[in-house]
Chain A
Amino acid sequence: DVKVTQSSRYLVKRTGEKVFLECVQDMDHENMFWYRQDPGLGLRLIYFSYDVKMKEKGDIPEGYSVSREKKERFSLILESASTNQTSMYLCASRNRDRGRTGELFFGEGSRLTVL
């Protein structure tokens, strides 16, 4: 069974803390994505990665960075967490060969609360 695994389902952090959200996929996918989901706004793309060590900004990259050192792992980093980063974070992966026609495979999400 193919799987995208996010390291934490629920996190509570304090303002100013550094936060790491980890995502691992076992499908050998080149493309990986980080989204955040907020009520009334839908899924918004933060960053994506075409391949190892490659990254591109999505629609809302401010306050975030990412790391892709291995093909199976894509990390989202909040350098200094703020209350407006309280959200549900979703990781996804996709087979690069199918491009925009390839379905996304999602993790179960990480709900982050910043106090």
Chain B
Amino acid sequence: ETGVTQSPTHLIKTRGQQVTLRCSSQSGHNTVSWYQQALGQGPQFIFQYYREEENGRGNFPPRFSGLQFPNYSSELNVNALELDDSALYLCASSLREGGYTQYFGPGTRLTVL
């Protein structure tokens, strides 16, 4: 059983650019959630995808968008990057019909200069 994987590991962008982060969910899972974690803080919920549809969104602007693919992998896209977008971006997968536990990937560290 493979766990949650994310790519890339690290990314450096400049303000105003766009970025795409990728996540492969754990085998057998159909739900993917994305979180943003600033240094020294707990993760903040961005949005969730279930069977390729957005299923809940946190307090993030529309320039944060996502996709889920038929194989349940997912992308997080951020447009018009701002300095405050610098953070660890975490992807978590779960099986909606199998309880509520979410399993996290290693994260992508995004630095915006």
Specify whether A and B are partners: no
